[in-house]
C-alpha cells in the first residue's frame, strides 16, 4: 500500500540528519511535521475504513454460516420426509453457503492483518510525530544559535582583518596628529600673549628707570 510506504519513509527519517542537510532548517522541520500530521489523518481514516470493512466481512461470514445451518436443517427435513430430490437441492445450497462462509472467513483473516498493520503504523507515526514536535523547538533553537555564532565569528574576522585594522590605525594617527597641531597652536598663541605682556612690563621698567635717573641728575 502506497500510504504505508509513505508512512514508513517518514518513520525511518532521521530528523537531526534532515536538519543538518537542509538549507532552511526551520522551514524543513515545519514541513516534515506538517507531512506527518497529514499522513496521520490519512492513516486514521484508513484504519476506520479497514475496521468497517472487517465488520462487514464478519457479518457476511456469519450470514453464510447461518444459511449453511438453515439449509442443512432443511435437507434433514426433506430426508425425513423421504424427498431425496429436495434434500439434494438443499444440500447444494448447503455447500454453496459453506464455500462462501470459508471465503469470507479467509477475507476476515486477511482484513484483520491489514487492520493490525495500519494500527501499528498509526501508533509508530503518532510516536514519531510526538518526538518530532518535542524536538522541533530544540532543533530550531540550536540552528539559530549556530547561525548567530557563525555571524559573530564572521564579524570578528572582518574586524580583525589587516586592511581594516590598518585603516583604523591610520585614522587613530590622523586624529592624534590633529590634536597635537591644535595643542601646539594653542600653546603658541599663549606664548605670544605672554611675550607681549613681558615686553610691556619691560618698557615700563625702562621708563621708570629713566625717570629715576632724570630725577637724580636734575
CB within 8 Å of 203: residues ≥ 6 apart: none
- 43 vs 101, more confident: 101
C-alpha cell at 199: 615686553
154-194 pLDDT tens trace? 666 655 555 555 665 677 777 666 666 666 566 655 556 66
For 60: left if phi > 0, alpha if psi spans -120 to 50, otherwise beta; the answer is alpha
The SS3 assignment for 142 reads: helix
For 88: left if phi > 0, alpha if psi spans -120 to 50, otherwise beta; the answer is alpha
44-71 pLDDT tens trace? 898 999 999 999 999 999 999 999 999 9
CB within 8 Å of 11: residues ≥ 6 apart: 121, 124, 125, 128
- H/E element, 172: helix 162-216
Q: For the chain, which residues make up each domain, given as ranges?
A: 2-159, 165-218
Q: Which residue has the cell 493490525?
A: 116
32-47 pLDDT tens trace? 788 888 888 888 898 9
- H/E element, 83: none
Angle, nearest 10°, between helix axes 84-159 and 2-12? 30
Asked if 90 and 71 touch (Cβ cutoff 8 Å), the reply is yes
- The DSSP secondary-structure symbol of 161 reads S
Residue 150 has pLDDT above 80, yes or no: no
When mean pLDDT is compared over 135-149, 168-182, 189-203, the highest value belongs to: 135-149
Number of C-beta neighbours around residue 152 at 10 A:
10
Of 1.10.287, 2.30.29, 1.10.150, 1.20.120, the CATH number of 2-159 is 1.10.287
Q: Is the dihedral of CA 108, 112, 114, 118 positive or negative?
A: positive
Amino acid at each position: 500500500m502506497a500510504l504505508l510506504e509513505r508512512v514508513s519513509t517518514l518513520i525511518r527519517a532521521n530528523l537531526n540528519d534532515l536538519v543538518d542537510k537542509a538549507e532552511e532548517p526551520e522551514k524543513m522541520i515545519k514541513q516534515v511535521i506538517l507531512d506527518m500530521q497529514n499522513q496521520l489523518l490519512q492513516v486514521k481514516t484508513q484504519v476506520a475504513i479497514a475496521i468497517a470493512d472487517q465488520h462487514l466481512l464478519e457479518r457476511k461470514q456469519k450470514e453464510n454460516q447461518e444459511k449453511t445451518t438453515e439449509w442443512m436443517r432443511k435437507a434433514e427435513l426433506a430426508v425425513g420426509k423421504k424427498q431425496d430430490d429436495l434434500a439434494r437441492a438443499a444440500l447444494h445450497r448447503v455447500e454453496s453457503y459453506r464455500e462462501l462462509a470459508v471465503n469470507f472467513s479467509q477475507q476476515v483473516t486477511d482484513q484483520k492483518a491489514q487492520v493490525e498493520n495500519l494500527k501499528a503504523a498509526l501508533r509508530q507515526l503518532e510516536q514519531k510525530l510526538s518526538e518530532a514536535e518535542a524536538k522541533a523547538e530544540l532543533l530550531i533553537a540550536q540552528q539559530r544559535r549556530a547561525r548567530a555564532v557563525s555571524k559573530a565569528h564572521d564579524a570578528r574576522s572582518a574586524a580583525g582583518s589587516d586592511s581594516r585594522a590598518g585603516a583604523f590605525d591610520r585614522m587613530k594617527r590622523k586624529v592624534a596628529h590633529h590634536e597635537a597641531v591644535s595643542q601646539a597652536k594653542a600653546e603658541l598663541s599663549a606664548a605670544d600673549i605672554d611675550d607681549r605682556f613681558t615686553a610691556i612690563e619691560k618698557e615700563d621698567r625702562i621708563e621708570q628707570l629713566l625717570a629715576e635717573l632724570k630725577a637724580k641728575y636734575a
